[in-house]
Amino acid sequence: MTAELAPGSAAVRYDCLSIGGQWRPPVDPAVAEVVNPATARVCGEVAIGGAADVDLAVDAARTAGLRWSRTSPQFRAQLLEAVAERIRLRRNEFAEAISLEMGAPADNARDTQTDLAVAVFESYAKLVNEFEWEETLGNSLIVHEPIGVVAAITPWNYPLYLASVKIAAALASGCTVVFKPSIDAPLDGYLLVATIEEVARECGAPAGLVNLVPGHGSVVGAALVAHPDVAAVSLTGSTNAGRQVSIAAAHSIKRVGLELGGKSAAIIVDDVTDLAGVLSGALADVFFNSGQTCTSCARILVPAARYDEAVELSAEIASRWTIGDPRLAGDHIGPVATRAQYESVIGHLESGLAEGARLVVGGVCPPDRIPAGMENGFWILPSVFSEIDPEMTIATEEIFGPVALLISYEDDEDAVRIANSSIYGLSGAVWSADDDRALALARRLETGRVVVNGGPFNVLAPTGGYKQSGNGRELGMHGLREFLEVKNIQRWLRISDEILGVDSL
């Protein structure tokens, strides 16, 4: 791998792909520019692959898998723990790359994005030793075996964490990986693969455990999904991307795991006493990472009797949020990560106003509030809409920006109806003074995860979506099983001198 400063600029250049443990140029050399969203200036340049590179990477992963699939869980645990420790030691380097490529402020990039990646690798180092790889059921031996080569395709919003979720689970299962990061945020992916390769060499693991092929989804992604030797595809991305992957993968009947879009709802129950505190928590969920969190509960459902109070409080709370230089630590948000996403958010802001919603606070950032030297960046103020009809475009489509919607409801039945009216079902939240009431509402939400009263994130628990938010689950034991085949070995059992069996069905 070559990482160097481009002449006359502060851009980082990576001129190779990683295939079979070797850094090599693409078969047909091509590059993609990485843009710093805070300045809209090029901050990096990376090699991108094509279909021929995918063929080489899949072949390398298959070869590595012949040995890796036969390693012991204990050996795999040691490698995963070593990767976690190496990322921890280099957390500042990873965080700087994340801030540069997608605009996350320094605290977010280090304390959330990088530290979550460490936690994920550590969790699988533990789980791989706890998992019951073989079990006896009557006269059958049930064996869990690695599925094969995994295509891991990730987006730009939490690039290191989402890559770690897929790669750590795949390696723990005994699978090998071809990794396609977003070409909008690939810099941390180079650091991750280099770290895994380094640890693999030190541990004596086969080369090519994780092969890196950045590229366009229409080229590299399509080639991976269609490749006959890719056994499973794990994608985090848009619902439209999930549809395309599902269709393409159907030709070879490969396993597909999808974490897709969301339009999640947070229900604030009428029994809350500290409405300001609850709204602070609900809005923080929306604004964190500049609103670019797929599980964000951007639809905030408020009792009709307290709606006007909630609008006034939300305006005050949101106005205290600031934007700021991503390189700096502090309580602020960075820019939206790409120009295309910036334009999409602006389009949704305009749509909301055109359909009759009221923009209480926020919107496009005025020049005098933008950090010095970053006037051309992709800045959106933390925003709150009120007077929302649940059928409005902004209430049904994922905005993926720092935009919260305050929606009025009449009673618990109405709140559940509104929350479940979405085509999505990725996440949800309930805020209540009554734990039993909160749990009862949480059980009724049609979504893969529900956060009650701001409960902390759990890397051991599964995450994933209902409805058009995806298929399959990631994290914990459920995430490990996504990359395993289950084999039933039926035998005759001998007890003393008697042979026992079960007739064939």
Measured distance CA(63)–CA(206) in Å, rounded: 9
Please tell me the distance from the alpha carbon of residue 230 to that of residue 66, in angstroms, as a whole number. 14
CA distances (Å), origin 425, targets 1, 392, 421, 428, 450: 41, 18, 10, 8, 10
Burial profile 348-361: b = 16 or more Cβ within 10 angstroms, e = fewer: bbeebeeeebeebb
Q: For residue 442, what are the contacts with CB-CB under 8 A and spacing of at least 6?
A: 428, 430, 450, 452
Distance, in Å, from the CA atom of 492 to the CA atom of 273, rounded to the nearest integer, reads 65
**Rounded Cα gap, residues 354 and 69, in angstroms:** 56
Place of tokens 């159907």: 250
d(CA 454, CA 442): 13
Q: Which residues does 343 contact at the CB level (< 8 Å), separation at least 6?
A: none
Are the beta carbons of 3 and 190 closer than 8 angstroms?
A: yes
In our burial notation (b when 16+ CB lie closer than 10 A, e otherwise), range 49-80 reads: bbbebbbbbbbbbbebbeebbebebeebbbbb
Catalytic residue among 45, 197, 259, 474: 259
| Tokens linked to 362 | 């926020």
**Catalytic (active site) residue 259:** yes
Query: In the numeric block, which tokens belong to residue 313?
Result: 């409080």
Among candidate residues 101, 294, 297, 482, the one labeled active-site is: 294
C-alpha distances out from residue 103 to 95, 192, 339, 442, Å: 10, 19, 12, 33
Rg (Cα) of the chain, in Å, rounded? 24
294 in active site: yes
Q: Provide the β-strand partners of residue 24.
A: 17
Q: Which residues pair with 214 in a beta bridge?
A: none
Task: Please state the φ and ψ torsions of residue 417, each to the nearest 5 degrees.
Answer: -60, -45
The residues assigned a catalytic role are: 259, 294
